[in-house]
Structure 1
């Protein structure tokens, strides 16, 4: 038994279910939209049919006190209004799968219980407390937009699984070539597809619907820390999952994460291209720097001089007590010249020990060109005007 109620402010509907055994359930709906009394009756009837079908009913006997609804559904009255015609079509679609459906008209005097409950749903308070199932309906059934759900389950895995099971390839030549080339990288165990890897165990292949759940759990789950895109991809592989678009999906997922966008670090420094220094000769160009002071070791040594070859990346290091010009000359002579031959040039860091005239004269006598890192930086700043603020700040920092 169903009934609808429409007031100036709020609309509602009530359905009373009664099983063949005599069990009775009451269900009330409150509409968040304005509807006429006939539309409310149709909404109640539609909801009642759907709920009976969800409970497994194959035969339904419905009763309502709306003569218009009964006559239009049974075909006695013609639907002149477009909304009534839409409701009638929806009901006919719902009852197609039923073995038997009967819709009868009852006088309002015999429908007093459903009528009272429908007014309860469309009013602020009821006359007495009772156990009633409530639902709030946001939009009309005829105003709902039809959503077509396309199942993408195993879309990318289906050709591979089919080839492994039956040996049949797709009809498209390019797709068939792709499947045949990648077949050796996959294994099928108990109907589940796994991908082989060079240095990992077998990775379980998952669909597009499942990978979003995996990324959500790894990125913002109970034990997650909102890691970056590349780390998230590596974590997904370590966990044992694989899908073809993993790298692109993790980067896109992190960019769309609300917490990462709100609380992530903002990098204000402009990005610049790296300018590598290429020198194709062995031990001909060295870079030199000083580390320390460290805790005093045996022999009062607390500094370290390091030299790195630009081509082989070979490292020479020695601990020293002090950092005088003679100490630097001794390091160059003992660790570079006597072991690897006379270098063509040495790039020094911006230390005071490397800028003394005595060291420059000694290097010039040996035929070694000395370069300071700050001069290299200044050459890269040639594009800045000396009067600009950036140039002055950089020069002051150096």
Structure 2
């Protein structure tokens, strides 16, 4: 799974695997088992080098110290980080508060183009760098992008108020609906989650946060530009949810300029097909002109065809030329005189079928 997701990086750089297991001998053995064939084929396109893992004294000493030495418990340093990205540039901000109350502020402007998601990553790295510089041991991070901000218009407010304080609407029917709906939600550390059917808890997002998550998955640093259903499924599997996930994904995909420019052409009709209703035989006919065919006796090379929609009965007559008069004579002789005046005639609206007497 890692090789598939990081395929561009694996193809552009050599990969060194440090292991004490004989992986290279197993994968390059001429008699590889059938279960390993697909892995050997899939990993064969990468430049993978297997090296034995040697004992490093510094690593061994660090592990020994970590296991044996216990640091004194102290109050954690509070770290507040935030990042933003715009057309003019990207930047990150870090505020570090010591256990005694001193504040250390840092603002960094990124010298490369970054998305909102990438600026958040740089924010975390900057915060860790500042913590390491001051010698902080225990941290309490606070990211502005994950702090829940509830407003009256937020769909989560009603559910959170019921789970925290037991508030219910005054209307009994609405109160019963809220109780049933809230049974699928749980509140953990002031954050609302929804219980999924077979997966982990899904974090509930506001519509503003949902738009940010959708755009990062659809056109973020990876720029997958997934379709509607694939985008909605990936967001749900990622552990996020909000009302009308599929409709939000469809709205984003249809408004994406790149998707509209490079998407496959749709040959489906723009509206639903409508069934043609007919009540009795010889009540509705379809007409069309076929040809020209190879010339037959009497210079006849066209075929005028009429089909009854109910019984599929066919009436046809060869003609040397197709005019309004020929079509009118065909209708009178082959349809009106034999069956009756049809209620409806369906054609391709060619000029031969636009005669005033035919339209009447």
Q: TM-score range by the shorter chain?
A: 0.3 to 0.5
TM superposition score normalised by structure 1: 0.30
Q: Which has the higher contact order (CA 8 A, sep 6+)?
A: 1
TM superposition score normalised by structure 2: 0.33
Please identify the structure whose Cα radius of gyration is greater. Answer: 1
